[in-house]
């Protein structure tokens, strides 16, 4: 995924060279009447006057005049003056009743990026808080990145980290993205699809995570309309046609519910709502339904004055219409991760139609529609923070934790996106505290969500008081108890099943730091091999090293070597970068090729006990004597496969540049895991005879499994054993074949 430049998708047609620059802005009274639907400063000022003081309103108008001056002569793709965009963004923020500083930042959000206004000037004119907000919203200055993906990921990282220190950054950013999406129609189809895809993938989940449901739903539908315009138009027409047919049903339900609640003495607001187009489309796609089969296009909302009356209203509705089994959810007792609270129930309405009801209080309704914007916080130390504020603050702080453990922008973005999925499971600590985790989370994710130290030292888990595997998927209501050992450390295999960004980044951080020396040595060897292939000496002059570090953003050569050793950087790409510096750096001299055919490469030597930087692939379990090949995997270092491993062949076809030549070392003073499979007669004592022969052949058994069909004449035994090398394995297999009752013995391959 690449992140586009959302703030400039409608950048004006007047170039910076011809733009009038810092001319005197037109006075407010000279403002031209806005086109229909175009935001104006008058409308904004009227809206702000409802809750800002005259002094604050004056400061906002000063920010408007400065922004108007900076954007003077700049127009959008639609032909409107560019200043209409910042005003529209400020209006959306005003709907959330954001403070004067946030409104000023919304008006100024493009002046650093588009007009080369310095942050220092904004500090002098409008104060540091406003300047910091604008800086957090602005993209990075033009730095050379290795790819567009890396540049855009870095921009997104900067925005999220600014958001972690002040949530107003993301509120303004979402308002900016919303207005851009509302006016996306003038863009080329390819650009519309790209921006809509980015919005659906990143900004929609953020809006949901912060509980901004109005923005969440509108961004979803706008993205849907640009990603799949034909589907959107077809579905839109179908819903318009259905409205007439279903109007009578909706009125009948509304009247019945209002009368029933009034008879029960419950004061309530009741209204129907049509589900979003994207919500209907997603249900059709996920459940393979036609539009006519989606019966619950309409939902109903009941808003009451207290939590007890929510439950009384629920009982009243269940007395009116029969509830559907399994279709009740209590998000009041256990609220969603974004603070959302309501009772959800689906009832069988008139004509057998399923009807969904949401029952909530007025306070819950405000939170459901505006989320963190309804109770947003400026200071992290406020003693009166609501539960929603505390949850939001904890999530924003977790972004800073991930950033500290992650040096790579693309990796940071990957971790954050993992945590943005809206589906959650709710589990309990042994002391009954509720922990919300993404669907598919494991006990390790639970452990890391409590504290990194607990996750790092986890050795076991009990789920509902029963021992379980660390990779077990957690479900709603599970009681999770983590067992720790101070001597335990994270394993690289954990990365294959943890679900949350915090757990993944913490494990990778540990693997990077604890095995630094090993990674440095491996990286040095890999880079030397890649340089030799290009005929370049490995001894680089200080001036070349200095330039290489500057252009690779590494602090030292050891850091660069470590990045190569853990697979974060490709040695071939680093070597080619050095080769490209030959013209400028005369000190990098080509090595003399041997034999006239280019430098001969020595394979990387494997001893089998290297640890984390070098791992033996679990799919094929290579042992000394096997032909082997190495794969550089991101943050897992060098993974060694047998040359005939079927999984390795598939992976090599996809990424051939990540594979290097490796060979076994001479002194291997350890044993290696290997899998064997036996076809045996199903008779008494056979397992004992096989196990005894394995022991007499000087091999260790680490795992044994067998088919459970007691009536079969023959069955399969599977062993994981430890042997010295391929010769030792061959000797063991010969001995096993002589055991009475054993029909076949073979090594199990991937």
553-605 pLDDT, tens per residue? 777 888 888 777 766 677 777 777 777 665 444 444 444 443 333 344 457 77
Q: What's 720's domain CATH number?
A: 3.30.70.260
How much is the pLDDT for 612?
53
pLDDT class for 187, splitting at 50, 70, 90?
confident
For residues 250 and 503, which has the higher predicted lDDT (pLDDT)? 503
263-285 pLDDT, tens digit per residue, is: 888 888 888 776 778 877 877 77
pLDDT class for 302, splitting at 50, 70, 90?
very high
* Residue 430 domain flag: yes
How much is the pLDDT for 391?
57
34 plus 80 within the same structural domain: yes
150: pLDDT strictly greater than 70? no
* Residue 650 domain flag: yes
* Residue 546 domain flag: no
Q: Residue 431 belongs to what H/E stretch?
A: none
387: pLDDT strictly greater than 80? no
Provide the pairing of β-strand 628-633 with 637-642: antiparallel
* Residue 24 domain flag: yes
How much is the pLDDT for 147?
45
160 plus 66 within the same structural domain: yes
Burial class of residue 514 (count of CB atoms within 10 Å of its CB; 0-12, 13-18, 19+): middle
Burial class of residue 666 (count of CB atoms within 10 Å of its CB; 0-12, 13-18, 19+): exposed
% of the chain with per-residue pLDDT over 90: 14
429 plus 352 within the same structural domain: no
234 plus 221 within the same structural domain: no
* Residue 537 domain flag: no
Token digits of residue 436: 């919300």
How much is the pLDDT for 712?
60
**Of the candidate ranges 1-5, 115-119, 485-489, the one whose mean pLDDT is the lowest:** 1-5
276 plus 417 within the same structural domain: no
* Residue 733 domain flag: yes
316 plus 433 within the same structural domain: no
706-726 pLDDT, tens digit per residue, is: 775 555 677 888 898 999 999
Q: What is the DSSP letter of 251?
A: H
Is residue 748 part of the annotated active site? The answer reads no
246 plus 197 within the same structural domain: no
The tally of domains found in the chain comes to 5
Distances (CA, A) of 641 to 540, 614, 621, 719: 33, 11, 7, 20
What's the rounded mean pLDDT across residues 431-437? 77
How much is the pLDDT for 562?
79
pLDDT class for 729, splitting at 50, 70, 90?
very high
Catalytic residue among 68, 110, 114, 481: 114
351 plus 416 within the same structural domain: no
Q: What's 46's domain CATH number?
A: 1.10.3210.10
125: pLDDT strictly greater than 80? yes
* Among 195, 227, 259, residue at a domain's last position: 227
368: pLDDT strictly greater than 50? yes
717 plus 616 within the same structural domain: no
How much is the pLDDT for 303?
92
What's the rounded mean pLDDT across residues 20-27? 42
Residue 404: domain span: 387-513
pLDDT class for 482, splitting at 50, 70, 90?
very high
324 plus 425 within the same structural domain: no
241: pLDDT strictly greater than 80? no
Catalytic residue among 110, 113, 198, 626: 113
Q: Residue 607 belongs to what H/E stretch?
A: none
* Among 227, 250, 265, residue at a domain's last position: 227
Alpha helices for 451-591 (secondary structure H)? 452-456, 501-514, 516-533, 542-552, 557-565, 571-580
For residues 419 and 113, which has the higher predicted lDDT (pLDDT)? 113
How much is the pLDDT for 13?
39
How much is the pLDDT for 416?
54
Contacts 24+ apart (CB under 8 A), 323-328: 323/347, 323/348, 324/348, 324/354, 327/354
Q: Are 75 and 14 in contact (CB under 8 A)?
A: yes
* Among 452, 478, 513, residue at a domain's last position: 513
**Of the candidate ranges 142-146, 414-418, 734-738, the one whose mean pLDDT is the lowest:** 142-146
Is residue 709 part of the annotated active site? The answer reads no
Q: What's 490's domain CATH number?
A: 3.10.20.30
How much is the pLDDT for 411?
52
643 plus 695 within the same structural domain: no
What's the rounded mean pLDDT across residues 501-530? 77
* Residue 741 domain flag: yes
* Residue 544 domain flag: no
219 plus 242 within the same structural domain: no
Q: What's 279's domain CATH number?
A: 3.30.460.10
């Amino acid at each position: 995924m690449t992140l586009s430049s959302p703030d400039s998708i409608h950048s004006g047609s007047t170039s910076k060279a011809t733009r009038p620059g810092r001319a005197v802005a037109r006075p407010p009274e000279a403002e031209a009447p806005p086109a229909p639907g175009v935001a104006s400063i008058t409308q904004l000022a009227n809206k702000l006057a409802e809750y800002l003081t005259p002094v604050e309103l004056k400061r906002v108008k000063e920010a408007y005049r400065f922004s108007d001056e900076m954007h003077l002569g700049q127009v959008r793709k639609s032909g409107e003056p560019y200043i209409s965009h910042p005003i529209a963004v400020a209006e959306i923020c005003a709907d959330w009743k954001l403070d004067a500083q946030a409104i000023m930042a919304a008006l100024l959000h493009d002046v650093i990026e588009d007009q080369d206004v310095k942050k220092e000037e904004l500090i002098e004119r409008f104060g540091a808080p406003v300047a910091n907000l604008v800086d957090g919203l602005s993209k990075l200055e033009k730095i050379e990145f290795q790819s567009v993906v890396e540049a855009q990921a870095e921009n997104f990282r900067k925005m999220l980290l600014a958001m972690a220190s002040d949530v107003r950054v993301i509120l303004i950013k979402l308002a900016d993205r919303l207005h851009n999406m509302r006016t996306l129609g003038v863009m080329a189809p390819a650009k519309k699809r790209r921006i809509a895809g980015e919005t659906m993938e990143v900004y929609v989940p953020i809006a949901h995570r912060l509980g901004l449901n109005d923005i969440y739903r509108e961004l979803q539908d706008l993205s849907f309309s640009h990603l799949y315009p034909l589907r959107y138009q077809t579905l839109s027409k179908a819903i318009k046609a259905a409205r007439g047919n279903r109007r009578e049903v909706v009125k009948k339900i509304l009247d019945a519910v209002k009368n029933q609640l009034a008879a029960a003495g419950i004061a309530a607001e009741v209204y129907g709502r049509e589900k979003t187009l994207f919500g209907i489309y997603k249900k059709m796609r996920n459940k393979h339904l036609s539009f006519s089969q989606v019966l619950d296009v309409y939902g109903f909302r009941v808003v009451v004055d207290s939590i007890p009356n929510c439950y009384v209203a629920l009982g009243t509705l269940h007395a009116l219409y029969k509830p559907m089994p399994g279709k009740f959810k209590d998000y009041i007792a256990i609220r969603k991760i974004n603070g959302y609270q309501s009772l959800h129930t689906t009832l069988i309405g008139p004509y057998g139609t399923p009807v969904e009801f949401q029952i909530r209080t007025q306070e819950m309704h405000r939170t459901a529609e505006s989320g963190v914007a309804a109770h947003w916080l400026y200071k992290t130390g406020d003693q009166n923070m609501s539960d929603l504020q505390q949850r939001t603050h904890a999530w924003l702080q977790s972004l800073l934790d991930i950033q500290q453990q992650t040096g790579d922008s693309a990796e940071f973005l990957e971790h954050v996106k993992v945590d943005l999925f809206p589906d959650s499971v709710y589990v309990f600590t042994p002391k009954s505290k509720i922990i919300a985790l993404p669907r598919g989370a494991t006990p390790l994710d639970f452990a890391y969500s409590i504290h990194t130290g607990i996750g790092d030292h986890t050795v076991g888990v009990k789920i509902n008081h029963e021992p379980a595997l660390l990779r077990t998927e957690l479900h709603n209501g599970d009681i999770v108890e983590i067992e720790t050992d101070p001597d335990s450390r994270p394993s690289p295999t954990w990365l294959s099943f943890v679900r949350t960004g915090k757990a993944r980044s913490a494990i990778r951080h540990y693997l990077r730091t604890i095995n630094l020396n090993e990674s440095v040595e491996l990286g040095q060897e890999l880079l030397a091999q890649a340089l030799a292939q290009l005929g370049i000496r490995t001894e680089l002059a200080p001036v070349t090293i200095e330039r290489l570090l500057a252009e690779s953003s590494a602090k030292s050569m050891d850091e660069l070597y470590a990045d190569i050793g853990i697979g974060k950087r490709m040695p071939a790409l680093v070597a080619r970068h050095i080769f490209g510096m030959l013209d400028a750096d005369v000190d990098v001299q080509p090595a003399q090729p041997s034999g006239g055919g280019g430098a001969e490469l020595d394979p990387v030597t494997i001893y089998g006990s290297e640890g984390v930087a070098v791992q033996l692939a679990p799919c094929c379990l290579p042992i000394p004597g096997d032909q082997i090949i190495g794969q550089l995997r991101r943050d897992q270092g060098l993974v060694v496969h047998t040359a005939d491993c079927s999984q390795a062949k598939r992976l090599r076809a996809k990424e051939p540049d990540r594979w290097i030549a490796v060979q076994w070392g001479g002194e291997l003073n350890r044993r290696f895991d290997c899998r064997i499979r036996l076809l045996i007669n199903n008779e008494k004592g056979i397992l004992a005879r096989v196990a005894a022969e394995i022991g007499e052949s000087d091999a260790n058994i680490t795992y044994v499994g067998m088919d459970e069909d007691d009536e079969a004449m023959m069955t399969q035994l599977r062993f994981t054993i430890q042997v010295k090398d391929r010769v030792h394995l061959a000797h063991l297999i010969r001995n096993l074949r002589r055991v009475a009752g054993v029909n076949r013995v073979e090594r199990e391959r991937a």
